[in-house]
Structure 1
Amino acid sequence: MHIFIVYSHPDEYSFTHSVLDSFILGIKESGHTYELSDLYKMGFRSDMSLDEYKRESSQNISLPIPVDVKYEQDKMKRADLIVFVYPLWWSDCPAKLKGWFDRVYTVGYAYSDDHSESKIKIQKGLAICTAGHTEKHLEEVGVAESMRKILLYDRLQNVGIKETELVILGGTANKEEHVYKYNLERAYKLGKGL
């Protein structure tokens, strides 16, 4: 299986980066291949240009798709599974990852005005989200359900990715070592179990 990982965090020494490393270790030990887009490291531009907006709002769909967007779409074409690894910030993903969806899900690729089928052929999507709050708390206040609706339904299922899962690695706000270890083990097992 070939896995495309979209990672979004600015700090390479963050807990979220440790989660990414643990997940990738599991992937390697399972014998799968992977490709990584580290959005901050690669300087991915998250905001649409005026031409991109005009293309996506169907004012002029003949405008070209930017090269960096095509690279991301090519990575998706090679993948059997797409995985998003990111922290929870204000009940959603970082703006850079939101911008990835805004720019990479282009008209004629992820959706179309005539409601024809998406060209995204990946069947499985996984989101691994780190959070300061516990998963229980995020469920109780409705944030976890909101995350599932927005990420799993709108950003994945809505473009043809049929099997989706959100894994919240939470409870890190208190900086307890056993919580970090537990979550890193979960990330490793997720990669190993693919």
Structure 2
Amino acid sequence: MRILLVLAHPLSDSFAASLAGTIERRLTENGHTVDLLDLYREGFDPRLTESERARYFEPDYDPAEAGPFVSRLKQADGIVLVFPQWWFNFPAILKGFFDRVFVPGVAFENDPAGGRIQPRLGNIRLFWAFTTTGSPWWVVNLYMGNPVRKLLKRGIAAFCAKGLDFRMVNLYDMDRADEGKRRAHVARIEKLVGRI
């Protein structure tokens, strides 16, 4: 498989960056082709431009302004996201990636009559996310209802592709996770990724 591995963390020495490196290595060992897209290192601009938004509902939307990133998405068989959850949401740069790259004609088609959008990412068979959050499990799941999982699974993956292998794995209470807990999490991720 060709995997688009998307990293969204501003620090190159972060736990997320280290985890992305581990995932890249494990996927490569399994014979997959990995396209590492480090949104910060590659200078991705998350801001949807005025001209992009003005054309959004026009037939044959042209995503040229984000063209290189769109091309990488179209070439992928699977997507693996690595990011921290901030304020129970995506980092702004990752939200901007969805806004500018998962666009009409690429990820979905708008129904001109106002009905359901039609998925267009038939090339994507796998959609996995590995995240960290400073909050404990009960706050994310019981109090907040795991909003990031809902957004990814119901609001992005399901609207853009059918029959996906979807998975999301969180490291909860990240701010208080000791070295042992982090190592155990990395070992779990290596094992999961080894099954791809």
Cα distance in 1 for partners of 2:23, 2:127 equals 15
Say whether the 8 Å CA contact 1:172–1:179 is kept in structure 2. Answer: no
Q: Give the corresponding residue for 1:89.
A: 86
Cα distance in 1 for partners of 2:95, 2:195 equals 27
Runs of 4+ in 1 over 3 A off after TM superposition: 60-64, 134-137
Cα distance in 2 for partners of 1:137, 1:131 equals 10
Q: Secondary structure at the match of 2:51?
A: helix
**Please, which moves more after superposition, 76-85 or 92-101?**
76-85
Where in structure 2 are the equivalents of 1:44-59 lying within 5 Å?
Answer: 44-56=44-56, 58=57
Q: Secondary structure at the match of 2:167?
A: strand
Q: Secondary structure at the match of 2:118?
A: coil
Q: Give the corresponding residue for 2:153.
A: 152
CA deviation digits over 1:62-88, x for unaligned, max 9?
A: 664234x22222212222111111001
Say whether the 8 Å CA contact 1:124–1:161 is kept in structure 2. Answer: no
Q: Give the corresponding residue for 2:178.
A: 176
Unaligned segments of structure 2, at least 5 residues: none
Corresponding position: 1:71 with 2:68:
yes
Aligned length: 190
Q: Secondary structure at the match of 2:109?
A: coil
CA deviation digits over 1:117-150, x for unaligned, max 9?
A: 3321212200111122233442222342x22211
Q: Identity rate of aligned residues, in percent?
A: 28
Corresponding position: 1:190 with 2:192:
yes
Unaligned segments of structure 1, at least 5 residues: none
What letter matches 1:148 in structure 2? R
Aligned pair in 2 of structure 1 residues 62, 76: CA closer, same or farther (>3 Å)?
closer
The two structures have a TM-score, normalised by structure 1, of 0.89
Cα distance in 2 for partners of 1:116, 1:131 equals 31
The two structures have a TM-score, normalised by structure 2, of 0.88
Aligned pair in 2 of structure 1 residues 27, 62: CA closer, same or farther (>3 Å)?
closer
Say whether the 8 Å CA contact 1:111–1:117 is kept in structure 2. Answer: yes
Where in structure 2 are the equivalents of 1:24-35 lying within 5 Å?
Answer: 24-35=24-35
Cα distance in 1 for partners of 2:174, 2:117 equals 43
Q: Which has the higher contact order (CA 8 A, sep 6+)?
A: 1
Corresponding position: 1:162 with 2:159:
no
What letter matches 1:187 in structure 2? I
What letter matches 2:22 in structure 1? S
Cα distance in 2 for partners of 1:148, 1:142 equals 11
How far off its partner does 1:161 sit? 4.5
Select 2:101's aligned residue among 98, 101, 104: 104
